[in-house]
């Protein structure tokens, strides 16, 4: 094959590989803030790289001009540098996932997340309002023993125990909160395997339960210690519960509407994505448990400080999920 024909036949793929290197390569660190919008995806690169190595061997064997050989040599060397370079330290990859990849995953499933939010928030608000109008409904939703327990926990006139709990050191309760929070999150996610219905049931049940407790305590005048206790960890805990539900709904959709994939393949893809979402959810629940154990139950902090911190945390969580990872390139 003549050199002109060889170049004409492979020119397009060389240009595509050069574009990928521009977005991902060592020589273009400044371009890392741009997303890879080229025709060649990251998954195509290993096969394209092997073809370029083969084309370089052919060009040398056929005695093509130094211009062609040098160009292929440069593409091969740059591609090797990107594909086989030392990966970033684990802490950098973890930070990148939490700050960029996780928020992008959440936004990529905005529809499921919105449905999960409605399934959780609507029954919560509904029960809260109903109990202000008809206080006796609380005994249709909770046993007298449960109602009495919550009243003891948040009785503003009882100074014997820390705010929101009766006993236990901070570190002991930290462990309890971690176990409780993550078990609920995993249960919500796993409920998606029942065609998404399980995730919805868990979300609705939690919304009704929380709305019932909040509505009753507010109605009997115990709202102040309750709100001071929950306001600190609520931004992370409640948001994480909704995100776990959204991930579960994604699993359910893969079963119901697999699209072009086989149902088992669609479930595997959704499961892999859901597992990454659950990693971020677990981080949020860990933060929530820490705040709940060491901040929420502290009585000495004024209510205005707690509410102010809560407002800041809600804002940070919203900004993180809405804008985290925008303009940042995918992991090489």
DSSP assignment of 174-236, as one string? HHHHHHHHHHHHHHHHHGGGTTTHHHHHHHHHHHHHHHHHHHHHHHTT-HHHHHHHHTTTHHH
Give the Cα separation of 13 and 168 in Å (integer): 65
Give the Cα separation of 310 and 237 in Å (integer): 12
Contact residues for 265 (Cβ-Cβ < 8 A; gap 6+) = 258
Residue 173, pLDDT score: 77
Residue 126, pLDDT score: 97
H helix or E strand, kind and range, residue 283: helix 263-291
Q: What tokens were used for 130?
A: 């109903």
What are phi and psi for residue 166, nearest 5 degrees? Answer: -95, -30
> For the chain, which ranges sit under pLDDT 50?
26-38, 167, 331-332
Residue 205 in contact with residue 122, Cβ under 8 Å?
A: no
Q: What tokens were used for 164?
A: 């929101």
Residue 116 in contact with residue 243, Cβ under 8 Å?
A: yes
Residue 309, pLDDT score: 96
Angle of helix 234-256 versus helix 170-190 axis, rounded to 10: 20
The length of the chain, given as a count of residues:
332
Residue 131, pLDDT score: 96
Integer angstrom CA distances of residue 87 from 82, 325, 330, 332: 10, 19, 14, 9
| φ/ψ bin of 2: left (φ > 0), alpha (ψ from -120 to 50), beta (otherwise) | beta
Residue 99 in contact with residue 232, Cβ under 8 Å?
A: no
pTM of this structure = 0.71
Residue 165, pLDDT score: 53
Angle at the Cα of 183 (from 218 to 109), degrees rounded to 5?
Answer: 85
Question: Residue for token digits 């919560």?
Answer: 124
Give the Cα separation of 42 and 24 in Å (integer): 9
Give the Cα separation of 189 and 113 in Å (integer): 12
């Amino acid at each position: 094959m003549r050199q002109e024909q060889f170049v004409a036949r492979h020119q397009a793929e060389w240009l595509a590989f050069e574009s990928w290197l521009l977005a991902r390569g060592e020589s273009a660190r400044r371009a890392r803030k741009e997303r890879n919008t080229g025709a060649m995806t990251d998954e195509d690169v290993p096969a394209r790289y092997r073809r370029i190595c083969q084309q370089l061997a052919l060009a040398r064997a056929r005695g093509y001009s130094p211009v062609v050989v040098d160009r292929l040599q440069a593409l091969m060397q740059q591609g090797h540098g990107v594909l086989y370079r030392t990966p970033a330290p684990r802490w950098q990859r973890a930070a990148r996932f939490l700050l960029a990849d996780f928020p992008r995953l959440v936004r990529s499933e905005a529809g499921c997340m919105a449905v999960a939010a409605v399934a959780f928030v609507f029954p919560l608000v509904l029960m809260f309002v109903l109990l202000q109008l008809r206080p006796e409904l609380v005994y249709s939703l909770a046993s007298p023993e449960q109602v009495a327990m919550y009243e003891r926990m948040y009785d503003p006139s009882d100074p014997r125990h820390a705010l929101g709990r009766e006993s236990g050191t901070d570190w002991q309760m930290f462990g309890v909160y971690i176990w409780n929070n993550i078990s609920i999150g995993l249960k919500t996610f796993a409920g998606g395997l029942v065609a998404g219905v399980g995730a919805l049931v868990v979300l609705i049940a939690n919304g009704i339960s929380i709305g019932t407790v909040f509505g009753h305590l507010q109605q009997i005048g115990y709202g102040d210690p309750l709100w001071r206790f929950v306001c600190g960890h609520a931004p992370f805990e409640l948001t994480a519960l909704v995100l776990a539900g959204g991930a579960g709904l994604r699993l359910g959709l893969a079963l119901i509407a697999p699209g072009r994939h086989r149902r088992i393949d669609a479930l595997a893809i959704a499961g892999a994505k859901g597992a990454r979402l659950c990693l971020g959810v677990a981080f949020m629940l860990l933060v929530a448990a820490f705040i709940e154990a060491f901040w929420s139950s502290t009585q000495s902090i004024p209510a205005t400080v707690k509410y102010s911190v809560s407002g800041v945390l809600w804002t940070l969580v919203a900004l993180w999920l809405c804008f985290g990872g925008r303009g940042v390139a995918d992991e090489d």
